[in-house]
Amino acid sequence: LRERCHEKKNKKASKHLVVKQIRKSSIMSLT
């Protein structure tokens, strides 16, 4: 049970990182 919860957290974190990278790249292409 604990491991599953941890996995969910990791998935959320990786998703957040991807969103951050996409935003960064989109800002770069805008400038």
pLDDT value at position 28? 84
Cα 29-10-6 angle, rounded to 5 deg: 170
Nearest-angstrom CA–CA distance, 10 and 17: 10
Nearest-angstrom CA–CA distance, 23 and 2: 32
4-22: burial string, b at 16+ Cβ within 10 Å, e else: eeeeeeeeeeeeeeeeeee
Q: Does residue 1 carry a pLDDT above 70?
A: no
pLDDT tens, position by position, 2-21: 788 778 888 888 999 999 99
pLDDT value at position 10? 83
pTM for the full predicted model:
0.55
State whether residue 1 is helix, strand or coil.
coil
Q: Parse the chain into domains and list their residue ranges.
A: 1-31
